[in-house]
Structure 1
Amino acid sequence: MVDYMFAFGGFAAPDIDAARAFYRDTLGLTVNDEMMGQLSIDLPGGGWVLVYPKPDHVPATYTVLNLEVANIDAAVDELVGLGVEMLRYEGFGQDARGIARGIASQQGPDIAWFTDPAGNIISVLQNAD
């Protein structure tokens, strides 16, 4: 078995300044400037993700970052108050806030999705206690 020493995730953004402002000012995460115009974003629980510049970036069609919260209703309300628009997906039974409720049906966490300025899909989710 390979003896891995460290791991991290990464994704691209065409406008690093917009990414920095969004992750720092809107999401409230700690953002650090790195070499070659890259950003590292400190994630809750000790992880981090690298955001690198890519002028011809095409956003993924899947969620690239999941942020667990204690209270999804409060988190969504706060994000919407900061100008974030929740995404709507057909067949997910999302409520008026854009939250798909999965805990009651045992089909997963309560979750809501939105995009960063580059179109990268992010979620906030609340797991069952």
Structure 2
Amino acid sequence: MLGQSQAFSGFSVDDLDKARRFYGEVLGLQVQETGSGEMRMLILELGSGAQVFVYPKEQHAPATFTVLNFPVDDIEAAVGELQRRGVTLERYPGFDHDEQGVVRGDGEGPAAIAWFTDPAGNVLSLLQEN
């Protein structure tokens, strides 16, 4: 029924201005702001043409799961660039992180993954496929 729909995803943040700076300046995404007042939100333009809506929520609670995954060809280079831009990688118990904070795959799933958060605490990742 909805197979042809132009579906999109969205998530909340506690500070739209911080989110706009982070997603636009730090991550280098194209960010548009739309609406006004309580209907103000951001539209993140992803390379695939997909859009993600980011909206302010007064009682925001960060997502406890990954809300955006960014595939990269060279995870070491991408991690290095994020760190140069002030981003700290997350290290989760139960995963074997290398010195950069990257978790290497075991042949199943992505070859490598690294997690980080936006200013609102939402989890994002870099993924390098096999």
Matched with 2:11 is: 11
Query: TM-score normalised to the size of structure 1?
Result: 0.93
The whole-number CA distance in structure 1 between the counterparts of 2:87 and 2:47 is 20
Matched with 1:108 is: 109
CA-CA distance at 1:60 after TM superposition: 1.2
Matched with 1:52 is: 55
The count of residues paired between Structure 1 and Structure 2 equals 126
Secondary structure in 2 aligned to 1:112?
strand
The whole-number CA distance in structure 1 between the counterparts of 2:3 and 2:71 is 28
Secondary structure in 2 aligned to 1:113?
strand
Secondary structure in 2 aligned to 1:22?
helix
Counterpart residue identity of residue 78, structure 2 = A
Q: Cα RMSD over matched residues? A: 1.0
Counterpart residue identity of residue 111, structure 1 = I
User: Which has more strand, going by share of residues?
Assistant: 2
Matched with 1:37 is: 40
Counterpart residue identity of residue 34, structure 1 = T
Counterpart residue identity of residue 37, structure 1 = R
Structure 2: which 5+ runs fail to align? Answer: none
CA-CA distance at 1:40 after TM superposition: 0.3
Counterpart residue identity of residue 121, structure 1 = V
The whole-number CA distance in structure 1 between the counterparts of 2:3 and 2:66 is 28
- Please tell me whether residue 93 in structure 1 is matched to residue 100 in structure 2: no
Query: TM-score normalised to the size of structure 2?
Result: 0.93
**How high is the sequence identity, in percent, across the aligned residues?**
51
CA-CA distance at 1:51 after TM superposition: 0.1
Q: Evaluate the alpha carbon distance shift between residue 38 and residue 98 of structure 1 in structure 2; reply closer, same or farther with a 3 A threshold.
A: same
The whole-number CA distance in structure 2 between the counterparts of 1:93 and 1:45 is 31
CA-CA distance at 1:85 after TM superposition: 0.3
Counterpart residue identity of residue 91, structure 1 = G
